[in-house]
């Protein structure tokens, strides 16, 4: 542990409290004004407003389907449901006649931290997976060349093989961006021992080759993500290159150890953050250690009650398991990539490469310096090829669809009378304006919280009493080490599990979530958490997105409704 660690951003001249705001940030999203404006033909040609004016939507005769599957603990039940349902979508696509299917996981390792070492399960690097008894070629691309039945069987096998032993820093959004969009996907994230700053290093040649094999320039691209919780990684280059620290078991500079005696906590946010995270005075207590005390902004941080005694969270108040929720309110800054990164990645003809993502202070600026590979006419296959200045291809924005099956109550996804497609009530799902921390109107099930939420049934001390709320049962005592659930659902048959078994929620006698049978170790239900960031991306993509609940409706054991909703989006997008 480097006890001399300080936020490097404080070497900058700070003239006011407002100047500190750039060191934090909030969930950022792309403007919604043009989201969904280029749907299927019918109201004129579908012109890509972010590309050349001569890119109309031409119905595709090929489909490239990318499945992004969360492989963290507790996902086995859900990936099995996806495996049993994905054939329905593939068969709906079959008339097109030329299909590619690829499967990647949510595990990208720790991006400079140490929570998830670089192993085969914990850092799968957004490479196409080849597990399962399949007939796919070594590059991981499944095709329809052997017939639709073989393609369905192969896809099901790979999805079932994804497993649930991956990294707990779930990164499905970043994984899909890395595979489809990043012009120069890094080989590794390296932290300089002298400066504690992270940098991208090298280019992943394996990924380049797989991308070229999978992605055709004139196909309809469908990105379908399955995850039961929110995106949980930091941008390692944020906070002047020190965002990686949020993915470390020992937060550099912290001497506040958790009960395990091994891991340490992160700096708190200043006092105003909890109630007014957009206030310019909301920042990190971590800046107090090295800022210029003569600067009024620095003096205010040093004097803040939250920043006394070192300014770090107490031993029981910063579990790594719940670090990535409401970060600005809790830490005074949000080190994650902005959600606009992922919206732009699926809609913009140009995107940043690794060198143009951040300014010198580590602020994500996303300067669009390169052709987006998703909209390129040809792709590099090795590191010596041109990575940035690629020719623009024929794909319009309307030929990219995004589906997400995630933590949201199904009751908040209503059906439009005319077409039976899900029409989410975004205010109930996300609040009035999550970008400005206005959560007015949000359904209580969608509030990420370690504490019981108002308006929902309270915790119970009786094992096997899983509550009466039809969405999630009830709240529970999380011990500050877990979040309350967005929804739960009955698993096909009860199982007995142990503490060391991945995805076991009922083995600890002092824990009683609304998932358990009457005896210790018996689990009868599965759960999902509020999945805020994937849902923001879906909201901002408008008509090009489909949302499904990862908790099947009572009486169902599949995700067929989401597959049908995606299938309904094909009209006007694929050639007849």
What average pLDDT does range 237-241 have in this prediction? Answer: 96
Same domain, 81 and 217: yes
- 112-142 in b/e form (b: 16+ CB < 10 A) is bbebbeeeeebbbbbbbbbebebebeebbbb
- pLDDT band at residue 551, thresholds of 50, 70 and 90? very high
pLDDT digits (tens, 9 = 90+) for 29-44: 333 333 333 333 233 3
What average pLDDT does range 329-338 have in this prediction? Answer: 98
**Does the reported pTM lie above 0.95?**
no
In a domain, 123, yes or no: yes
pLDDT digits (tens, 9 = 90+) for 480-509: 999 999 999 999 999 998 888 888 999 999
**What is the extent of the structural domain holding 310?**
8-28+238-331
In a domain, 575, yes or no: no
In a domain, 50, yes or no: no
pLDDT at 118 over 60: yes
**pLDDT for 576:** 80
**Short-list 388, 345, 391, 343, CA closest to 184:** 388
**pLDDT for 137:** 67
In a domain, 1, yes or no: no
pLDDT digits (tens, 9 = 90+) for 381-427: 999 999 999 999 999 999 999 999 999 999 999 755 445 556 788 99
Same domain, 412 and 549: yes
In a domain, 157, yes or no: yes
Same domain, 245 and 343: no
Same domain, 90 and 187: yes
Q: Which residue among 314, 331, 348 closes a domain?
A: 331
pLDDT at 49 over 90: no
Same domain, 363 and 504: no
HSE value, Cβ hemisphere, 13 Å, CA-based, for 495? 15
**pLDDT for 414:** 72
In a domain, 576, yes or no: no
Same domain, 268 and 403: no
pLDDT at 284 over 80: yes
Beta bridge partners of 413: 424
pLDDT digits (tens, 9 = 90+) for 265-282: 999 999 999 999 999 999
**pLDDT for 51:** 47
pLDDT digits (tens, 9 = 90+) for 159-179: 999 999 999 999 999 999 999
In a domain, 34, yes or no: no
What 3-state DSSP class applies to 152? helix
Beta bridge partners of 60: 574
What average pLDDT does range 443-467 have in this prediction? Answer: 98
What average pLDDT does range 468-482 have in this prediction? Answer: 98
Same domain, 500 and 472: yes
Same domain, 388 and 438: yes
Same domain, 493 and 536: no
CA distance 30 to 539: 10
CA distance 430 to 532: 7
**Short-list 163, 175, 178, 166, CA closest to 82:** 163
Residue carrying structure tokens 């030329």: 98
Number of domains making up the chain = 3
Same domain, 381 and 293: no
Q: Which residue among 331, 348, 367 closes a domain?
A: 331
CA distance 157 to 518: 34
Alpha-carbon separation of residue 114 from 3, 109, 473 (angstroms): 17, 8, 35
pLDDT at 6 over 60: no
Same domain, 144 and 293: no
pLDDT at 145 over 60: yes
Same domain, 366 and 424: yes
Mean pLDDT, rounded, of the chain: 89
Return phi, psi of residue 527, to 5°.
Answer: -135, 165
| DSSP string of 33-70, one letter each residue | TTTTTT-SSSSS----TTS-TT-----BS-EEEEEEE-
Q: Which residue among 313, 331, 349 closes a domain?
A: 331
In a domain, 375, yes or no: yes
């Amino acid at each position: 542990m480097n006890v001399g660690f300080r936020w490097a951003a404080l070497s900058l001249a700070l003239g006011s409290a407002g100047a500190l705001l750039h060191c934090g940030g909030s969930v950022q999203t792309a403007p919604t004004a043009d989201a969904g404006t280029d749907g299927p033909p019918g109201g004129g040609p579908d012109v890509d407003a972010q590309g050349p004016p001569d890119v109309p939507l031409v119905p595709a005769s090929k489909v490239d389907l990318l499945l992004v599957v969360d492989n963290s603990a507790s996902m086995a039940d859900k990936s099995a449901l996806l495996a049993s349902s994905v054939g329905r979508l593939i068969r709906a696509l079959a008339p097109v006649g030329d299909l590619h299917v690829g499967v990647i996981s949510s595990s990208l390792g720790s991006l400079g931290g140490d929570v998830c070492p670089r192993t085969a399960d914990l850092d799968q690097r957004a490479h196409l997976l080849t597990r399962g008894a399949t007939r796919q070629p070594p590059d991981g691309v499944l095709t329809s060349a052997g017939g639709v039945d073989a393609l369905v069987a192969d896809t099901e096998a790979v999805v079932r093989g994804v497993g649930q032993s991956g990294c707990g820093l779930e990164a499905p959004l970043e994984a899909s961006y890395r595979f489809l969009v990043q012009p120069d996907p890094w080989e590794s994230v390296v932290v300089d021992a002298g400066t504690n700053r992270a940098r991208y290093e090298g280019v992943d040649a394996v990924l380049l080759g797989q991308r070229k094999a999978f992605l055709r320039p004139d196909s309809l691209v469908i990105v379908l993500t399955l995850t039961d919780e929110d995106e949980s990684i930091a941008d390692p280059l944020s906070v002047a290159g020190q965002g990686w620290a949020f993915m470390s078991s020992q937060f550099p500079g912290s001497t506040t150890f958790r009960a395990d005696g091994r891991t340490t906590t992160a700096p708190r946010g200043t006092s105003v953050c909890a109630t007014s995270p957009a206030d310019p005075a909301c920042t990190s207590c971590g800046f107090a250690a090295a800022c210029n005390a003569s600067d009024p902004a620095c003096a205010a941080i040093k004097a803040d009650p939250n920043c006394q005694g070192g300014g770090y969270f107490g031993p029981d108040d910063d579990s790594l398991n719940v670090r990535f929720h409401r970060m600005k309110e809790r830490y005074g800054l949000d080190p994650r990539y902005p959600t606009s990164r992922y919206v732009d990645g699926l809609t913009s003809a140009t995107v940043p490469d690794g060198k143009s993502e951040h300014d010198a202070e580590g602020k994500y600026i996303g300067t669009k310096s390169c052709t987006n590979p998703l909209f390129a006419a040809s792709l590099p296959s090795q590191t010596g090829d041109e990575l940035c200045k690629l020719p623009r291809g024929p794909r319009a924005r309307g030929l990219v669809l995004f589906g997400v099956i995630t933590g949201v109550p199904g009751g908040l996804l209503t059906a439009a009378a005319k077409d039976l497609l899900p029409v989410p009530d975004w205010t109930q799902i996300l609040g009035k304006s999550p970008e400005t921390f206005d959560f007015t109107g949000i359904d209580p099930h969608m509030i990420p919280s370690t504490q019981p939420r108002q308006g929902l049934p309270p915790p119970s001390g009786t094992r096997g009493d899983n509550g009466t709320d039809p969405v999630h049962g009830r709240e529970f005592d999380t011990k500050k080490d877990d979040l309350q659930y967005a929804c739960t659902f009955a698993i096909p048959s009860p199982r007995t599990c142990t503490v060391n078994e991945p995805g076991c929620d009922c083995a600890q006698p002092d824990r009683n979530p609304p998932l358990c049978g009457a005896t210790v170790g018996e689990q009868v239900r599965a759960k999902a958490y509020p999945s805020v960031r994937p849902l923001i991306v879906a909201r901002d993509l408008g008509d090009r997105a489909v949302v499904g609940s990862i908790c099947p409706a009572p009486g169902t054991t599949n995700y067929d409704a989401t597959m049908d909703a995606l299938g309904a989006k094909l009209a006007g997008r694929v050639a007849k």
